[in-house]
Structure 1
Amino acid sequence: MRVPTLRTRAMRLAASLLACVTLAAPPAARAQLRPLSDAELGAVHGQGLFTVSNSSLNGFDFTRIGLDADVTLSANLYQMRMGEYTWAARNGGGADLDIGALQFGRSDAGDARRLVHITNPYFEFVYRDTATAGVREVIGMRLGFDGIAGDIGMRIATLSGALRIDGGAAGVVDTLNDPGGGKRWDGNCATCTLSLSQVGAVTAGDANGPSRDFWIAVLKAPVQFPSAPGMPALTTAQAGVWLNWRDKLTALTVNGALPPNLPPGR
């Protein structure tokens, strides 16, 4: 594995997503400062922009830094290729993630569907103790959202990850059907009635709430991340770049069509 390429391209994706989320956040309100009495201060309630939490699972420790905010997002990301190897990978692909397009929102179905709604974007770092006392080893990190709801166009050639897309009568795309466990999968299998290449767009979330398990990890060893409260245990993420997305994900198109996502006003 060309580690610098893996890290650089994965971090570019993380930076792109974080930049999109940050730019989509509403501008900060401004007000003139004035002194407050003790009584007035006691009546004030506030909340920090960032939250930090720690957890442990299966010998790994996790530190999560969350942007405690709700964000609406319209963005188009293209030609993302991460986790490249110097030799040919399974199914003819040479990368853990080979995503030709990832579009947040669509411009052909009214104003309400132009935006994707994201709750609490976060970074989570994972590390563990080593055999040397007092020395800790960083294993990797993941970038994710506590919730994501809306229409997302996608064109994925290969992926490493735990992905499930419900295509209704057309069938289901599920990496658990892959004999290789979802590592560099092209979305085809002997029993699949719906392939990954046929899905041009998905809807995240439903009437019961948003999709709650979207994240992308960059790791040098397999890790099972903690799951959100009320969610089933997560599939172990493998070394390299790993995408997880299984909750409340339904196909919008099953003919490979990618919906347009033009800038607002166009």
Structure 2
Amino acid sequence: MIDFIEQREREATDRRLGDSIASSKRPKPPSAFSSTMTFAGRALLRIKHVPEQMFDVTVFPVIFLLMFTYLFGGAIAGSTEEYLQFLLPGILVMTVAQITMYTGIDLNNDIRKGIFDRFRTLPIWLPSALIGSLLVDVVRYSLASAIMIGLGFLLGFRPEGGMIGVLGAVGLILVFSFSLSWVWTVFGLIVRSEKSLMMISFLVLMPLTFVSNVFVDPQTLPSWLQGFVELNPISVLATGVRGAMHGTVTVQQVVWVFIVSLILTAVFAPLTIYLYRHKK
């Protein structure tokens, strides 16, 4: 009798298992928003478990600001306090622009570890893995901006545009940085190692940040160099950020920041998605 009951239970279990395997119903794939937030959560967990990667947005900005203010302030402007009013918006732009390369580095690491191939086989909206990481990078940029501005206030920085101007300046930086990150995702998909990507980013960002209006007024530069400085995207952003903080920003300056950001996104975002789909 007991054997008969056990046999019937096994048969019932086998039927349920067979029904579940043969079922034509499949779970619905996650929405684009859901999958994007999942990958954003993954990027946040990476920060939680490897907190030292936040040094680039916590320690380096402080070093840059203190070094340039107190080493060059007296020589360039005659006063460190006066130079700080000009320098801080530019240093803020330079610092955030430089840390955008870590988006490409994280993507390159996923490719080398094989996680990238697994993501492409999932039934999800394909760009969600990229956009989720980019959204978390916006949090990193915001943290770097908060640290820089807070330190600037302690050193004597006084924005004439008030808090609204400061928030507007940070908004311009976040828009531009999100767009610039797409450049590094393209290189992250192309190059073979993170060292190569860091070298490329250094070769690109070094002249863009130093040959700009971040540190000095372009009027003090040779005439042949002023044209490049004015067209430099970093200069365009620094002009808008500096104007917003000091209450002198114009509509034209803001529009140019959005135009440059739109061009970067329109060129490099589709290219990133194409390479992401066809990466071998």
TM-score by length of structure 1 reads: 0.23
- Which protein has greater RCO, CA pairs closer than 8 Å, 6+ apart? 2
TM-score by length of structure 2 reads: 0.22
Structure holding more strand per residue? 1
Bigger CA radius of gyration: 2
